[in-house]
C-alpha cells in the first residue's frame, strides 16, 4: 500500500498512482489482489492531451496478469469536448468515445489522433502537410532541447495552437 503517489513520468503520460496491492499465492503461482488508482494523470498525444479524471486498475489473484480497467478521461480540442471511457481487461480493453457537440466515434478518434476530423483531413492536402510539419517540428524540438526528459504539461506546444491549411469552423 502506498501512502504517497508513485510518480509517472514518460513521453506518453505524466501523473501519479496510488496502490493497495497484496501479493498472494505461492512461488509457483503468484497473484496480485487489490487496485491501483491513477492520480492526476495526463496522457500526451501528438495533437491532444487527455486528462484522466478517474482511473482504476483492479487486480484479481485468479487472473493477475489481466487486470480490469475503469478509466474516464476528457480532452478539449478546438470547439469539442471529448469524453473517453475505457473498461474491460488489459488484454481485451473496450473504449467509448463521446463528444460535445456530438460526433460519430470515428470522428472523435480522428480528432484525438490528428487534431482534425476525417472530413477536414480528406478535404485538403494542406491539412495533411500541416500535421506532418507539426509532428516534425515537435520531434526536432524534443531531440534538440528536451533529450531524455519526460513530457511536461506546460510545454510551448500547449501554449501554441497552429493550424496550416485547415478551415476555421467559425468563419468558414
What pLDDT score was predicted for residue 12?
84
Look at residues 135, 115, 56 and name the one whose alpha carbon lies nearest to residue 89: 56
Q: Which triple of cell numbers denotes residue 110?
A: 480522428
Residues 81 and 102: their CA atoms lie apart, in Å, by 9
Q: Please write the tens of the pLDDT for every residue from 76-108.
A: 988 899 999 999 999 999 999 999 999 998 889
Pair 45, 52: CB distance under 8 Å:
no
Q: Which has more pLDDT, 142 or 103?
A: 103
The whole-model pTM stands at 0.70
What pLDDT score was predicted for residue 159?
45
Q: Please write the tens of the pLDDT for every residue from 51-77.
A: 999 999 999 999 999 999 999 999 998
Q: How confident is the model at residue 110 (pLDDT cuts 50, 70, 90)?
A: confident
Q: Which has more pLDDT, 151 or 28?
A: 28
Average pLDDT over residues 37-41: 93
Average pLDDT over residues 127-134: 54
What pLDDT score was predicted for residue 83?
96
Q: Which has more pLDDT, 105 or 123?
A: 105
Q: How confident is the model at residue 137 (pLDDT cuts 50, 70, 90)?
A: low
Q: How confident is the model at residue 130 (pLDDT cuts 50, 70, 90)?
A: low
Look at residues 37, 65, 39, 63 and name the one whose alpha carbon lies nearest to residue 51: 39
Average pLDDT over residues 14-26: 94
Pair 95, 82: CB distance under 8 Å:
no
What pLDDT score was predicted for residue 44?
85
Mean of per-residue pLDDT scores for the chain:
80
Amino acid at each position: 500500500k502506498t501512502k504517497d503517489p508513485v510518480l509517472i513520468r514518460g513521453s506518453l503520460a505524466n501523473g501519479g498512482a496510488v496502490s493497495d496491492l497484496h501479493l498472494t499465492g505461492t512461488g509457483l503461482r503468484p497473484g496480485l489482489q487489490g487496485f491501483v488508482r491513477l492520480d492526476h494523470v495526463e496522457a500526451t498525444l501528438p495533437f491532444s492531451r487527455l486528462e484522466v479524471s478517474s482511473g482504476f486498475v483492479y487486480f484479481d489473484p485468479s487472473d493477475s496478469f489481466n487486470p480490469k480497467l475503469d478509466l474516464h478521461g476528457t480532452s478539449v480540442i478546438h470547439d469539442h469536448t471529448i469524453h473517453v471511457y475505457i473498461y474491460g481487461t488489459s488484454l481485451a480493453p473496450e473504449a467509448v468515445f463521446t463528444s460535445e457537440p456530438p460526433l460519430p466515434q470515428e470522428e472523435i478518434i480522428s480528432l484525438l489522433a490528428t487534431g482534425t476530423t476525417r472530413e477536414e483531413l480528406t478535404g485538403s492536402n494542406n491539412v495533411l502537410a500541416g500535421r506532418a510539419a507539426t509532428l516534425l517540428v515537435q520531434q526536432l524540438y524534443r531531440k534538440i532541447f528536451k533529450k531524455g526528459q519526460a513530457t511536461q504539461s506546460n510545454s510551448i506546444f500547449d501554449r501554441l495552437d497552429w493550424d496550416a491549411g485547415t478551415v476555421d469552423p467559425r468563419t468558414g
